[in-house]
């Protein structure tokens, strides 16, 4: 990127500028990595004052209330550091390397439709009747299946797989080796099998003599600004579509089953697994390793803590945690109870010993007198 002044950065962040705004900035760095006066030291976290005072940078970004060392001639004050960081990284972003046009070693079907400014890297595949909007980047060894539609300015990283008939909105990002549009995990037995009997009776009655595949003829539909992490997988619907709402962010190694409906602006963190036909509302957060059973409904703005297992519906704006997941207050009560078990067991053991001692004394005082040992007869 070309150099930019401190004042221009402050204006882009809509943040307060102090001191010399004419300082020209070449890059943004951690204070410990600053090498010269054209570096912008990002010192928004607590505890970085000493490193900032020792670095050669003349400009910095600071959180409200932070002290400004003497070596800093100009600085930007931000109210919410992490949000400001997002804006800063937009300014100093380093875009992926993508050659314009279709690489000679890529395959693009003759009837595929490519918009303006599309880039298709080497060994990439774009299938028949696929549509790539303006500015789409398909990086090396990525796949776009037949009749898939990719919205403008979307980025498909190396090794990502976009299945046939998948529809993606604008500005989507699919990270390496993610797979969107896999067949669902759908199988059926001729007669009720072990799973069905276990669910209904708690016992295994039927046996899975034959397991027949249920084909997935639906698709996956992603809204605008959806991001899918590396090695994440999204199964297509059985008949209709698995849908991911606009603005939703999906972390690495997330599994989303067939027919799932995810709302807008959700955050699904690493190792989340969502079984088929689950409905997740808008702005829901599922922390790492949350598992969600099939046909469950999670309301808008709900938050589920890490390692939780969701087996029942969750209302809107609720905070759930635990295995199985329960409301946060109830989970804390359970954890407190578990922590008290050792002391409770000790108290119970002590009470049992006391009762035994009391029983022994009662038998001595109330029982028959001992037999005489006098044999003078």
| Residues designated catalytic | 258
Neighbours of 221 (CB within 10 A): 21
Distance CA 178, CA 172 (A): 13
Report which secondary-structure segment, H or E, holds 347.
helix 328-366
Cis peptide before 324 (omega within 30 of 0): yes
Helices and strands (DSSP H and E) totals, the chain:
5, 40
Measuring CA to CA, how many Å separate 305 from each of 17, 31, 262, 282, 328? 38, 34, 18, 17, 9
Alpha helices in 14-80 (DSSP H): 49-54
Distance CA 262, CA 278 (A): 8
Distance CA 23, CA 37 (A): 9
What are 307's two structure tokens?
């390692």
Cβ density class 317-349: b for 16+ within 10 Å, e for less: ebbbbbeebbebeebeeeeeeeeeeeeeeeeee
CB 234 within 8 A of CB 161: no
**Burial class of residue 155, CB neighbours in 10 A (0-12, 13-18, 19+):** buried
Neighbours of 126 (CB within 10 A): 28
Residues, the chain: 377
Bridge partners of residue 228, in order along the sequence: 174, 250
Bridge partners of residue 5, in order along the sequence: 24
Distance CA 67, CA 4 (A): 25
Distance CA 272, CA 291 (A): 6
CB 28 within 8 A of CB 9: no
């Amino acid at each position: 990127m070309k150099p930019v002044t401190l004042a221009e950065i402050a204006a882009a962040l809509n943040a307060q500028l102090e001191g010399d705004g004419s300082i020209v900035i070449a890059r943004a760095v951690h204070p410990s990595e600053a090498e010269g006066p054209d570096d912008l030291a990002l010192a928004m976290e607590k505890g970085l004052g000493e490193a900032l005072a020792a670095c050669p940078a003349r400009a910095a970004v600071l959180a409200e209330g932070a002290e400004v060392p003497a070596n800093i001639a100009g600085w930007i004050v931000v109210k919410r550091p992490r949000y400001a960081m997002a804006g800063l990284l937009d300014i100093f972003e380093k875009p992926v390397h993508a050659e314009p046009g279709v690489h000679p070693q890529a395959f693009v079907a003759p009837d595929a439709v490519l918009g303006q400014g599309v880039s298709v890297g080497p060994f990439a595949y774009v299938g028949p009747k696929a549509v790539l909007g303006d500015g789409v980047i398909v990086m090396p060894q990525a796949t776009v299946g037949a009749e898939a539609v990719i919205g403008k300015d979307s980025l498909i990283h190396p090794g990502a797989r976009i299945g046939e008939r998948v529809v993606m909105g604008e500005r989507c990002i699919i990270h390496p080796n993610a797979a969107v549009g896999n067949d669902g995990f759908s199988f059926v037995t001729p007669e009720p099998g072990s799973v069905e009997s276990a669910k209904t009776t708690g016992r295994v009655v039927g046996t899975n003599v034959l397991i027949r595949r249920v084909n997935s003829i639906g698709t996956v539909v992603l809204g605008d600004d959806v991001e899918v992490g590396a090695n994440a997988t999204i199964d297509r619907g059985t008949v209709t579509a698995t849908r991911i709402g606009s603005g939703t962010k999906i972390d690495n190694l997330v599994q989303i089953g067939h027919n799932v409906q995810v709302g807008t602006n959700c955050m699904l963190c690493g190792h989340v697994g969502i079984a088929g036909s689950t409905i997740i509302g808008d702005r829901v957060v599922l922390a790492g390793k949350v598992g969600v059973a099939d046909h469950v409904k999670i309301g808008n703005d709900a938050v589920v803590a890490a390692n939780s297992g969701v087996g029942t519906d969750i209302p809107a704006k609720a905070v759930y945690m635990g295995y199985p997941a329960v409301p946060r207050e109830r989970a804390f009560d359970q954890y407190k109870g578990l922590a008290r078990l050792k002391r409770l067991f000790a108290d119970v053991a002590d009470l049992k010993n006391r009762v035994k001692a009391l029983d022994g004394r009662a038998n001595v005082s109330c029982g028959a007198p001992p037999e005489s040992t006098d044999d003078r007869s």
